[in-house]
Amino acid sequence: MSVGTCIFPTMPEIQGIQLGTACAGIKQTVRDDLLVIALDEGGVCAGVFTRNAFCAAPIQVAKANLAHNPRWLLVNSGNANAGTGQQGLQDALATCAQLAAWVAGKPEQVLPFSTGVIGQPLPVAKLTDALPAAVANLATDHWQQAALAIMTTDTFAKGVTQTLNLDGQVIHFNGIAKGAGMIQPDMATLLAFIATDARISQGLLQQCLTEAVQQSFNRITVDGDTSTNDAVMVMASGCSSAPEITAGSKALELFSEALLSVCKQLAEWVVRDGEGATKLIRIGVEGALTDKEAVQVGKTVAHSPLVKTAFFASDPNWGRILAAVGRAGVENLVLEAVQIFLDDVCIVSNGGRAEDYTEEAGQRVMDRAEITVTIQLGRGTACQEVLTCDLSYDYVKINAEYRT
């Protein structure tokens, strides 16, 4: 189940970056569940990782190896290798060493990533036995295969492609992501891998990614849970003929905007594919004192089970939204200054139900598959948007049966 039509785009090749998949049979044998991404010598890599205290073993290794000019990413689905202690770290390091042996590289140049069930030992033998096939499968046009290989409870492969014209030369961006549940980021969310052929330093690439994540992956939530395995990675091969992107340049500004656009599109696909989701909800908070306050209000509404179930039922129970705003922790909130809208229908004004609001008008909006909630706080000029989805019977069913 997903909100809207989800068609994987035709993606151009990104010179200097190859992708290969194979079936390791970690949790299922129907499709590939192992992905290797290879970055040519001279390329650079940036990453943002979960801040969950029970950070998964592969994330710990990837964070450490990011400083060693990584050339390969190794991704498996079906097992998170999280909550696995010292053995999990040893297993993650062992898979890096095995891939390095197959590609004649160094283990510290491999970044491992895992997604799936938490608390179960990584089946290292299955993974390493499939590595030769994944390496042999490396090609520049395997983006859809890669997106399929990293899925868990996702219902469709998520991909985005975009171009940027600099001085008559084209820079390409391709991005894939997985994620449908355990989505409430504290840095990024899920797993996302973005590639570009831009020429840019690692430091600038890291700066652009960190800023982009804050305005995209950090503005979505499905269920309020931050994963142990979240990571967003960007690889830049430097193979474009466009000029090198430098600090303080107009090109850097344009590159940052393009990367943010890719991140926002991928983040929205994740919410559209939220486990059991039937509706996409945009929560815009305006007139806040700070961006932090705006996000705080938006996420309080987005995380409310009562609000989310009302959207699932198409029930214009506007009091649930009002109550969530009221408990968001905004100090000295002037209730009479607050206005709340469902699309263009004002539901709250002057401290209570808007005078011209009708149940019929609210119902027309709630019957839609995509809805915008606008909350005007009347306190300042800051504004932010949070994306979420409804909470359905299927979300409970999917997660109740996740390990069966």
Catalytic machinery residues: 189
> Coil, strand or helix: which one is 140?
coil
Phi-psi region of 301 (alpha: psi -120 to 50; beta: other; left: phi over 0): alpha
Distances in Å between the Cα of 169 and the Cα atoms of 84, 140, 166, 220, 252 are 47, 20, 5, 33, 15
**Of 196, 291, 210, nearest in space to 251 by CA:** 196
Is residue 218 within 8 A of residue 248, CB to CB? The reply is no
Q: Which residue has the tokens 């868990």?
A: 152
Report the distance separating Cα 303 and Cα 122, nearest Å. 32
**Of 300, 345, 344, nearest in space to 322 by CA:** 300
End-to-end CA distance of the chain: 20
Question: 360 is written with which tokens?
Answer: 């019929």
Report the distance separating Cα 318 and Cα 301, nearest Å. 11
Q: How many residues does the chain have?
A: 404
34: part of which helix (H) or strand (E)?
A: strand 34-39
Q: Which residue has the tokens 């994944």?
A: 134
Question: 17 is written with which tokens?
Answer: 């970056």
Q: Show Cβ contacts of residue 234 under 8 Å, excluding neighbours closer than 6 positions.
A: 45, 46, 47, 194, 195, 196, 205, 208, 209, 259
Report the distance separating Cα 43 and Cα 214, nearest Å. 24
> Coil, strand or helix: which one is 119?
coil
Sheet containing strand 280-288, strands side by side: 352-353, 345-349, 339-342, 370-376, 280-288, 382-389
